[in-house]
Structure 1
Amino acid sequence: MVDKAIQRLAAEDAYSEELAKLREWDTAPVPPGWVLSPFAVEHFILGNEELGIERKFVASRELISRVIISLATNRGVMLIGEPGTAKSWLSELLACAVSGHSKLIIQGGAVSHYSQLLYDWNKALLQRDGPTKEALIPGPVYRGMAAGQLVRFEELARCPQMVQDAILAVLSERQIQIPELSGADATLYARDGFNIIASSNSLDKGLFDMSAALKRRMNFETIDAISDINDEMDVVQREATKLLRRSGVDLTLDPMIVEMLVTVFHELRNGVTLSGRSTDRLAAAVMSTAEAVSVAHALGVYAHYYSEGKMEAADLIHFLLGATLKDNLQDRRRVKHYFDTEVINKQGKHWHELYGQSYLLKA
């Protein structure tokens, strides 16, 4: 039974009913070590109305199928994209659908030695008994290889070269040598179903370049921001509503305010308005869909606790400030210019109420 006090459920727990439904429905060929067929994994991610499967990620079917098929081979997958394009979410969905488990995660920025990926030793047992299998502490890659499960590697480019070399060896040989042990315990062979799905932030290149050899062993897929504003509004409405429910807030997001929020994010992110006019792009803020979801969530929580459950267009700017204005002084000028040239001309009382708060943008 899932603990309702958990702030964020893993995908396999949040969508356990859908996964069970797909396992029962799935009659397509299943790769060795996988829980579902590639066909069913695709339906889990992109949705299937007839089966009651929710769409969880916005992308072309061709991109999702390429990633799925790559994971069914001996090539890893590298997801490249700007912050907030849901690369981590896609890798989590893939891991839970393919392996039934998404919790084998490596955060590249926190890894300084390959032992954190592969294995380490219990020092007390090592001193007492010497190197034994019982004294070995398996890392996430070791566990994924032993269990035949996908391993998620976040921000691979932030890892030092020797860590990347360890991943290269694993992807090439599909085994880990443990020289401290002997006999059958000295080699761990990857089980069917094991692979690595990595991600890298295209804006934050990290400290270390990936070697050409490692790149050759991974298929690269670029995850772009959502281009269709209706798709983006659907994501923001759906995901922010889920966050509100988990926050104990029973409130329906005002679709008109969600449309305003997504429009502002969409236009500032792309540097082009919906009508085709050029506008300023911000230097320090990505204005991603993920951030728009966070702003909608915060606005709903504010309405619940401070406005008797009523969302006001004029309140939106207070939550836009934290998302748009980071550590670049010129971005305040850019946002003010956007309000003075675009927001002021948009039709509707709600837009006029939003513009009425633009004095807060003054330096």
Structure 2
Amino acid sequence: MTEAVLRPHAEHQFADELALLAERDDRPRPPGWRLSPWAVTVYLLGGTLPDGTVVTPKYVGPRRLIEVAVATLATDRALLLLGVPGTAKTWVSEHLAAAVSGDSTLLVQGTAGTAEDTIRYGWNYARLLAEGPSEQALVPSPVMRAMRSGAVARIEELTRMPSDVQDSLITILSEKALPVPELGTEVQARKGFTVIATANDRDRGVNDLSSALRRRFNTIVLPLPATTEEEVDIVARRVAQIGTSLELPETVAGIEEIRRVVTVFRELRSGRTADGRTRLKSPTGTLSTAEAISVITSGRVLATHFGDGVLRPADVAGGIVGAVVQDPVSDRVVWQEYLETVVRERPEWSDFYRACREVL
């Protein structure tokens, strides 16, 4: 069944690695955890076990950040992953939940329209009207289910939720209990329960967390990849994983186009060329690692179905223009200046320059 799913959950996609780590893991495990903090870190960052088994990395970034995140989950505080779009906040959240509790599906998606019952609980109104308030009429939220089972609850885009909905978490995080006054009872969290929330750094000022709620979280800021090679490695890994899921054949010479796309995005978002000699205007879009992955994946599909299977500049040019030119007026000017002052001056990028000019 899992093989037919377009994107399996982390605990299913990497079930073999998780099972192997659990079998080899002889270190202390916090109550309710499937793995020790050491094994959770190995699962996320990759490594070689004492018997020579290689665990693939799920996240490429500073080791200390992941160690602090994992250590936070072993305390009584919740974890807030903060960063600009495309810094793998959701990805890290999913894999942490899969490694700690074996279930990454207890998820609340935050939006401006998220209601309080999405965090707390709701009711089956047909049964409520017929029977009155009862356990059978109650519809538990993912957070309540996580409390009952001692698992990790995930909350995406916390700062997009209205402030009063955010604050419904305060009692849950401080008292580890969720009152149900209609039934005259409460749900007390079992050992292993915790919350991992994510927030977009660019959403500051939309629905800022109250000081009371912020104190319940330990905040980890996930950075953009530090170097070009690190980002190329991340993009190559994710593109390969997505290609396998889509059952795409191997594409020839993809790594050079990945490096070129990553270089373009890094230069435009930093506002200067890689050598530091030329200052650039930055577009309005994020141009994150996630966008680079999307551009290369789309290019692979074009090369497979409309080309000769070799990833070429023409296959990625349209995706790059679409990612850069979010505002048809200001971003178009930024992109044209970059093409003429940077790309055109690089002889080894002449084919890329021509391809981009054709789709502009």
TM-score interval for Structure 1 and Structure 2 normalised by the shorter chain: over 0.9
| Corresponding residue for residue 162 of structure 1 | 164
Other structure's SS at 2:2 match: coil
Runs (5+) with no aligned partner, structure 2:
none
Report what 1:34 is aligned to: 33
State how far apart, in whole Å, the 2-side matches of 1:151 and 1:301 are: 35
User: Which amino acid in structure 2 is aligned with residue 212 of structure 1?
Assistant: S
Q: C-alpha separation between the residues in 1 aligned to 2:326 and 2:357?
A: 18
Matches of 1:270 and 1:207, distance apart in 2 = 25
CA contact (8 A) 2:317 2:359 kept: no
SS at match of 1:125: helix
Instruction: Give the % identical residues.
Output: 38
Q: Deviations over 1:53-77 (max 9, x none)?
A: 1111122111111111111111111
Tell me how large the CA RMSD over aligned residues is. 1.6
Q: Compare 90-99 and 246-255 and name the one that shifted more.
A: 246-255
The reply on whether 1:257 has 2:257 as its aligned counterpart is: yes
AA in 2 matched with 1:102: S
Show the counterpart of 1:325. 325
Partner of 1:4: 3
1:132 aligns with 2:150: no
Residue among 53, 73, 76 paired with 1:71: 73
Partners of 1:315 and 1:117 in 2: CA distance? 43
Q: Determine the structure 2 residue equivalent to 1:357.
A: 355
Counterpart for residue 176 of structure 2: 174
Q: What is the CA distance between 1:110 and its match in structure 2? A: 5.8
| In structure 2, C-alpha distance between the alignment counterparts of 1:246 and 1:216, rounded to whole Å | 40
Q: Which moved more, 1:328-337 or 1:66-75?
A: 328-337
SS at match of 1:342: helix
**Matched AA of 1:169:** T
**Which whole-Å CA distance do the structure 1 matches of 2:307 and 2:21 have between them?**
42
SS in 1 for 2:4: coil
Greater shift after overlay, 154-163 or 298-307? 154-163
In the alignment, is the contact (CA less than 8 A) between 1:244 and 1:250 conserved in 2? yes
2:216 corresponding residue in structure 1: 217
| Structure 1: distance between partners of 2:206 and 2:55 | 40
Equivalent residue runs for 1:75-224 within 5 Å? 75-109=77-111, 111-182=113-184, 186-205=185-204, 207-224=206-223
Deviations 1:212-244 (A, max 9, x none): 011111111111111111111111112112212
Which residue identity is paired with 2:238?
E
Shift of 1:121: 1.3
Task: Report the alpha carbon displacement of residue 281 of structure 1 after superposing the two structures with TM.
Answer: 4.3
TM norm structure 1: 0.94
CA distance in 1, matches of 2:96, 2:215: 22
Aligned length: 356
Q: CA shift at 1:278, angstroms? A: 3.6
User: Is 1:22–2:21 an aligned residue pair?
Assistant: yes
Deviation string 1:283-313 (CA, Å, 9 cap, x unpaired) is: 3211111111111100000000111212222
Segment of structure 1 superposing worse, 9-18 or 51-60: 51-60
Query: Residue 231 and residue 5 in structure 1: after superposition, are their counterparts in 2 closer, same or farther (change >3 A)?
Result: same
**1:248 CA drift (Å):** 2.3
In structure 1, how many angstroms separate the alpha carbons of the residues matched to 2:205 and 2:156?
A: 12
Residues 267, 279 of structure 1: 8 Å contact kept: no
Q: Does 1:236 align with 2:235?
A: yes
Q: Is the 8 A contact 2:152 2:192 kept in 1?
A: yes
Q: Secondary structure at the match of 2:251?
A: coil
Q: Which runs of 5+ in 1 are unaligned?
A: none
What letter is aligned with 1:79?
Answer: L
- Superposed CA offset, 1:5-25 (max 9, x none): 211111111111110110011
Q: Map 1:258-297 to 2 at 5 A.
A: 258-297=258-297
For 1:220 and 1:54, locate their aligned partners in 2 and report how far apart those are by CA, in whole Å.
Answer: 26
| Of 2-11 and 23-32, the range deviating more from structure 2 | 2-11
Partner of 1:198, secondary structure, is strand
1:343 Cα deviation from its structure 2 partner: 1.4
- Cα offset for 1:346? 2.4
Q: Is the 8 A contact 1:158 1:206 kept in 2?
A: no
Cα pair 1:147 1:191 within 8 Å, conserved: yes
1:241 and 1:252 in contact (8 A); partners too: no
